[in-house]
Chains A and B, each alone.
Chain A
Amino acid sequence: MGALGIREISKNYGAVSVLRDICLDVAAGEFLTLLGPSGCGKSTLLRIIAGLERQDAGTVSLGGRVVDGLRPKARDVAMVFQSYALYPHMTVAQNMALPLKMRRLSPWQRLPLVGRVLPGTSAAVAGIDAEVVRIASALGIDHLLARKPGQLSGGQRQRVAVGRAMVRHPAVFLMDEPLSNLDAKLRVQMRSEIKELHRRLGVTFIYVTHDQAEAMTLSDRVAVMLDGEVLQVAPPRQIYDDPADRRVAEFVGSPKINMLDVRVRERGVLDLAGSTLFVDVDCAAGTALVLGIRPEALQLAERAGPGTLSGVVRLSEHLGSDIFIHLDVPGSSEPLVARLPAERAPHVETGQLVHLGLRAERALPFAQDGRRLRTQATVMPLREYAR
């Protein structure tokens, strides 16, 4: 039984359709990331799961139970917000205690003065306080309990927000861009802390981000969303190596994947404005395709010839371990980017003509409508064709 099931969720704001027929199944204990650019509907989907917003169609089930129409507090989910949404007038301890107070104390017991003298209040409050201290020390924020959010740094606030989510022991953690307000260094550190937290708690995490590095490093599976649709749900490695859609390939990967307009000459042979490439796509001769080539799928070749691309270096960026070279290639409107290992790349100068070979097994052909096309496992050997 899955932790979370989403069936044909749709959501419109007026005439604007934000989510269209979203289906997702998340296993218990899984770390699933919703990855997409801003405005793709990922946060809306998270808010629908949380119960903060109602879908126009479809159902959400948590732990096998349909939760449509249930208020957020009844759904056994906790959420960490991008802004952390800590109550600024409460101390860290009060912030973390609130979810428990709302659960364990009756409305009368929560009254400011009267509540304290009611039977059972002091025992319940002591239990809550102990729980808060326990969670706070697990997160390393127990020395901050008496402070207010305004006196904390970004990373500390982030931890408090996580702590407030943890005290309730929810079955599902929802995180809405929790690291995007932190500086780059802290973001990397908090990323590993979240990964560690997930490993330790073993509960389901649904994590929304637009940052592919976060999605790739944290997730068991990534759901790539674009324009209100889930394009692909797969482990990070597969999202990168085996994208199901042109938009997925273009969104994931930095530097961006190269996209070249090619035409099938014959089985296993593609034409690109004067160059010939050997990629075996099962298409009729004359079909126009888009060939996706990751920058690292290109390698330097000694000389021009069939199976290579030639171009003039426009820019070369030395990053220590790698060199990115940007080439003007005939037939491509955008410069082609190749990522070469620094030790195997000779000195490349701007304006120089270089030749690049393509690792055919890494080529990603797409149909004109963006659908991914399969390549054949056997690729015609280069030498054989040249003969």
Chain B
Amino acid sequence: MTVSAEPLRAERLIAGATVSSRRRARLADAIAAYALAGPAFVLLLCLFILPTFAVFVIAATDWQFGASTINFVGARNFAELLADRAFRISFANTVLYVLIVVPGTVGLGLVLALLIEAGRSLRAFYRAIHFLPFMATLAAMAIAWEALLHPTIGLLNQALATLGLPTANWLRDEATVLPVLAAIGIWQNLGFAMVLYLAGLKSIPQDLYDAADIDGADSWLDRLRAVTLPMLGPVSMFVVIVVALKAFQTFDTVKILTQGGPGHASDVLLYTLYRESFEYLRTGFGAAVTIVFLVIVVTLTLIQARVMERRGPYA
């Protein structure tokens, strides 16, 4: 009996030692993990979380940029926002702008992609030339547009006049200014939608078109309905959300071409935000606009994340 007890005790000793050393190792692991993640977390806190929190706090005050007094006003900024005619116009303009730009970009982008894919030659050339506006600086492009749209010496009006058609002061007319800005928005995002659609078209298996041929869905329209459009569903969802996000954030063209005018006819959310915060220095009010803007953008981003997670609706 004594013979067998000896190794047993030794075993227990070894086992005890491993348990305590294992616990120590686990603690060291945890410390290392926090130490490694720490800097990233601090950056996240300083650059994203605290500023966002600050916006929420400022939105509940009457603080003006540079002012020495600051008072808590609760939801008064938001009440003011809702009552403010300029803000309501700006909000409506933004929605209208998005409603023109998104279908325009998505529809034209799809048509363009189908045309390029159907053609045999110069594919790379068409791809590049249509993608150019998306890559270029919109501020610089806006100046080119300004020259084109100039009421007297602009190319557009001169061309219209030559053809005997009525001309307009495109950027100074309340009726035309928002559609013209939306057209520029479509022009800019078209290449982006086209490139995504081209990639989407390439990923459709040829087998499906063959099956459609055998099943009798072999006309141009039937193939589009049975195969192409449904298979582009996930891509379309992505394009719609990304273009909508971009359209909500439109700013450069408004700032450079119209400054929100004439009247408030081309005021959009981001421009209102900019004007209230940095021209009128109403920081508290501007923060409230920011929150409205943030809610829209975050909602769209969440939808996008959800769509990307599902990786297509057909799984």
Contacts and interface: CB of A to CB of B under 8 A. Distances in A.
Interface of A: 47, 50-52, 71-73, 77-79, 81-83, 85-90, 98-99, 102-103, 148-150, 164
Given A89-B233, A89-B314, A52 B227 contact: no
B213 A71 contact: yes
Contact of B214 (A50, A86, A148, A150): A50
B309 interface: no
B253 to A, nearest CB: 37
A148 B314 contact: yes
Interface in B204-247: 205, 207-208, 210-211, 213-218, 222, 226-227, 230-231, 233
B215 A150 contact: no
B299 to A, nearest CB: 26
Nearest to A77: B214
Nearest to A88: B314
Contacts of A102: 215-217, 222
Contact of A73 (B207, B218, B231, B314): B218
Nearest to B211: A85
B47 interface: no
Contacts of B226: 87, 98
A164 B210 contact: no
Contacts of A78: 214
B1 interface: no
Contact of A81 (B210, B216, B227): B210
Contacts of B230: 87-90
Nearest to B221: A107
Contacts of A164: 211, 215
B315 interface: yes
Given A85-B208, A87-B226, A89-B231, A98 B314 contact: no
A150 B234 CA distance: 15
A73 B213 contact: yes
A52 B205 contact: no
Most buried by B among A73, A87, A148: A87
Given A73-B216, A98-B215, A103-B216, A85 B233 contact: no
Contacts of A50: 210, 214
Which has the most chain A C-beta neighbours within 10 Å: B213, B215, B216, B230? B215
Contacts of B208: 85, 87
A83 B231 contact: no
Contacts of B215: 73, 98-99, 102, 164
Interface string B231-273: 1010000000000000000000000000000000000000000
A74 to B, nearest CB: 9
Nearest to B233: A89
Contacts of A88: 230-231, 314
A4 to B, nearest CB: 16
A125 to B, nearest CB: 16
A77 B213 CA distance: 11
A70 B211 CA distance: 16
Contacts of A72: 213-214, 218
B222 A85 contact: no
A82 B207 CA distance: 9
A123 B17 CA distance: 82
A162 B208 CA distance: 15
A71 B313 CA distance: 32
Nearest to A83: B207
A343 to B, nearest CB: 49
A79 B217 CA distance: 14
Contacts of B207: 81-83, 85
A89 B231 CA distance: 8
A89 B222 CA distance: 15
A141 B230 CA distance: 24
Contacts of B227: 87
A152 to B, nearest CB: 12
A85 B314 contact: no
A102 to B, nearest CB: 3
Interface string B301-315: 000000000000111
Contacts of A148: 314
A158 to B, nearest CB: 14
The residue among B214, B216, B227 with the most chain A CB atoms within 10 A of its own CB is B214
A78 B205 CA distance: 19
B181 to A, nearest CB: 34
A150 B211 contact: no
Contacts of A47: 210
Contacts of B216: 73, 98-99, 102-103
Given A47-B210, A71-B213, 8 more contacts: A83-B205, A85-B208, A85-B211, A86-B211, A88-B231, A98-B217, A149-B314, A150-B314
A308 B55 CA distance: 95
Contacts of B313: 89
Nearest to A99: B215
Nearest to B227: A87
A78 B231 CA distance: 23
Contact of A79 (B205, B210, B222, B231): B210
Nearest to A104: B216
- Of B211, B217, B222, most buried by chain A (CB within 10 Å of CB) is B211
A103 B214 CA distance: 11
A355 B86 CA distance: 103
B106 to A, nearest CB: 18
A328 B207 CA distance: 47
A149 B233 CA distance: 16
Q: B208, B210, B218 — which one has the most chain A CB atoms within 10 A of its CB?
A: B210
A52 B213 contact: yes
Nearest to B225: A110
A76 to B, nearest CB: 11
Nearest to A75: B214
16 contacts: A50-B210, A51-B213, A79-B210, A81-B207, A83-B205, A87-B230, A88-B314, A89-B231, A98-B215, A98-B217, A99-B214, A102-B215, A102-B216, A150-B314, A164-B211, A164-B215
Contacts of B213: 51-52, 71-73
